[in-house]
Amino acid sequence: MSLRLAAVAEAVGGHVVGDPDREVRAIDTLEAAGEDDLSFLTHARYRSRAEGCRARALLVGPDVELPGKDLVVADDPALALARVIALFHPRRRRPAGLHPTAVIEEGAAVDATASVGAYAVVGAGSRVGPGAEIHPGVIIGRDCRIGTGATLHAHTVLYDGTEVGDNTIVHAGAVLGADGFGYASHGGVHHKVPQVGRVVIGDDVEIGANSAIDRATLGETRVGDGTKIDNLVQVGHNVQLGKGCILCGQAGIAGSARLGNYVVLGGQAGSAGHLEIGDGVQVAAKSAVLQGVEAGRKVAGIPAVDLRQWRRQVIAAARGRDQDRRLDALERAVEALEAAAEEE
């Protein structure tokens, strides 16, 4: 397909500097784009690459000048890029209907506009909403709810009672509603605590491949609207996630922790259970949150402390290692002098 730059600018709420009638056939990276493609510059550090890019048209932010290039200028080029990619690569919807091998148990209801793929199972009492896509091999337990336009990719598993909101995307291999990790230890034996709650996922959530969100012991494990969860993330039983949170790969949240709105956990960051992390908190990668964190703070380290304090700790540790090396050298010098004195 091809699009005029004027149409691209209209789609992203921007404007054209140069020829609005130039047609572009695809969107590609600065390195791979050809003359008839549209490329993009979303960060100033890549300006030299943009100048040498073969593409004759680029998507850029305000106040960017690239002589010899036609530009689509947008206030937020990263957001505009997402919209342009969607223009050139519109989502392919699966056709509505039930695959002949799909299993729809008695009492389940699948909307006529939804799609259920090969060997998928929809358990008794479950509801699949309008336009939802259930890909091959998905297992939906009993009494689940799948919202309008939701997508469950291949081999996703929803245990009984799980609820998935409108336009939410769950990627392959994710498991929602497995038993929480709860045991009562007595007399050297770990006795299983029945996990009889459920998982509720809000609207416009995205859950990465092979992530797990455990059902509550009692009540609900809840993920707020607009939250985005990367691959291989563990969310424990009774966790409450607010709206718009970001959980990066291999992050883990122990049971009954409460995270506010727009909290960010970096890759492999973890939170202990039964604590509160306030709105807007950012936790650096590989950090361990062991006590509550007030809203708006940035923390890092093990245990996690204020980001500025952690930086001072890192500097002090580096200086300490240097001092240790100098002390070792002094000790060796003293030993050499003492040995020489004994020989005299």
237 noted as active-site residue: yes
- From 171, 186, 237, 274, the catalytic residue: 237
> What residue type is assigned to position 157 of the chain?
V
Q: Spell out the SS3 assignment of the chain.
A: CCEEHHHHHHHHCCEEECCCCCEECCECCCCCCCCCCEEECCCHHHHHHHHCCCCCEEEECCCCCCCCCEEEECCCHHHHHHHHHHHHCCCCCCCCEECCCCEECCCCEECCCCEECCCCEECCCCEECCCCEECCCCEECCCCEECCCCEECCCCEECCCCEECCCCEECCCCEECCCCCCEEEECCEEEECCCCCEEEECCCCEECCCCEECCCCCCEEEECCCCEECCCCEECCCCEECCCCEECCCCEECCCCEECCCCEECCCCEECCCCEECCCCEECCCCEECCCECCCCEEECCCCEEHHHHHHHHHHHHHHHHHHHHHHHHHHHHHHHHHHHHHC
Identity of residue 71: L
Pairing of strands 258-259, 276-277: parallel
**Cα 253 from chain centroid?**
14
Residue 154 CA to residue 136 CA, distance in Å, equals: 5
- Structure-token match 């964190």, residue found: 293
Which residues are catalytically annotated?
Answer: 237
